[in-house]
Chain A
Amino acid sequence: MKSIALTVVLILGCLLVYVAQEFPGFGDPGAPANVHVSPFYIENAMRDTAVPNMVTAILADYRGFDTLFETSVIFTAGLACFFLLRVIRRRAPESRLYRHIPTDLTIRIEKGGRLPASSAEFQRIDSVWVPYDLIIHMTGRLIVPFIQLFALYVIAHGHYSPGGGFQGGVILGAAVILFALCNNLRMTVRRFSERTNALLCSLGVIIYAGTGVMCMLLGSNFLDYGALAGLLGVDRIMARSHGIMMVEIGVAIAVNAVMVWIYYNLSSVGRQDEGL
């Protein structure tokens, strides 16, 4: 098996090296990829959309359909993870571990024993016992708001600097995942519940598609943001800029929710009570 695989891979490698001889050199301005449609984008992006960052202008405006369906792919992936893994049936665990906060003692409650779900003195911990670490706990608590702030900056400045909905959404999702890693999954699910998550997932895609439908209702093509000019009270070019902003916000919400949702389901094998 190994030798067959090695032969196949080596044949493929030789083929690719052979083909690469015909390819343009690295950084060649006259390469086919750089001469057909991309000069049009580079020269017209600013004039058409008033967005200095061409990547954002192409992503949400010239190639809006592509991005819409990429967002749908991410949404579908989140749903797929949910349907593959989620175990809805609630079954009480055999035993639970609680930490007594003032004394740092761990107590085990067997089946049938009872403790209030949220007590100021006791904190439920995962059954794979991990010692409480103050440093990790506090660092996470301190750093998460700044990560979220940075994510909002990345989303809002997608027009003027490298950034945008996808990047900002991933950073927002990473902040929530970091919170879950520093504390525990139950605490995170309490703050950012699965219901919110599912709603945000679909809300993001709806914002994107809804912006497109609004353009249609105002008498233009799907995702032709120039049609929003009358609604927003600006000229057609600025309307395209604002339309890109709306779409980016939708993308960010969807990506953020999907990242967190996938993490919830993967880390707890769909039970969402105990995880990493």
Chain B
Amino acid sequence: MDALLSFVIAKYNYWVVVLLIMIGLYAMIAKNNLVKKIIGMNIFQTAIILFYISIGAKKGATIPITFGEHGPPVAAADFINPLPHVLMLTAIVVSVATLGVALALALKVFRQYGTLEEDDIHSQIRKE
């Protein structure tokens, strides 16, 4: 029991990520409303961002900003991994931009069919 508990605690970041991925994927598959699907996609993206950021963490390390020229020499163990931060910095802004495109497409669909519910749209397409 103790072994299981310490295992769960040692990797709690992955459990949060898995939970968020499941919520996002479920919303993308099962929800009927297109905006809810888009929100699900965003939750999925957030899970990936959280995953990247959490694997960059190091125990006992600080933020990846050195003290400048006059500070002590830089050791890799003292600073958290800056690479995931760089990748996710761009990914966050790109996810906002793609969210904008997704909402624009949803607006187009609404303008065409007058609804965002997927089954209504399907039945309208079948009637044509």
Contact = CB atoms under 8 A, between A and B. Distances in A.
A53 B57 contact: no
A12 B11 contact: no
Contacts of B15: 17, 20
A107 interface: no
A70 B21 contact: no
Interface in B1-55: 7, 10-15, 17-19, 21-22, 25-26, 29-30, 54-55
A219 B36 CA distance: 52
A58 B100 contact: no
A53 to B, nearest CB: 5
13 contacts: A5-B30, A8-B29, A26-B13, A27-B57, A55-B64, A55-B65, A63-B86, A74-B94, A74-B97, A81-B101, A84-B105, A164-B89, A269-B107
B104 A67 contact: no
Contacts of B64: 42, 53-55
B83 to A, nearest CB: 5
B128 to A, nearest CB: 22
A29 B68 CA distance: 23
B11 A26 contact: yes
Nearest to B77: A29
B76 to A, nearest CB: 4
A37 B30 contact: no
B10 A26 contact: yes
A37 B53 CA distance: 16
B60 to A, nearest CB: 8
B74 interface: yes
Interface residues of A, number: 67
A33 B86 contact: no
B93 interface: yes
Given A9-B25, A81-B104, A33 B59 contact: no
Interface residues of B, number: 59
A166 B89 CA distance: 8
A59 B79 contact: no
Interface string A52-93: 111100110001001100100110011011001100000000
A25 to B, nearest CB: 4
Nearest to A83: B104
A78 to B, nearest CB: 7
A42 B74 contact: yes
Contacts of B75: 43
Contacts of A190: none
B31 to A, nearest CB: 9
A89 B2 CA distance: 69
Interface string A226-264: 000000000000000000000000000001001100100
Interface in B61-75: 61, 63-69, 74-75
A9 B11 contact: no
B58 A55 contact: no
B67 to A, nearest CB: 7
A87 to B, nearest CB: 10
A2 interface: yes
A199 B72 CA distance: 45
A27 B59 contact: yes
Top 8 nearest A-B pairs (CB, nearest first) are A77-B97, A39-B76, A5-B30, A262-B100, A5-B29, A27-B59, A70-B90, A20-B14
Contact of A73 (B79, B84, B94, B105): B94
A73 B69 CA distance: 36
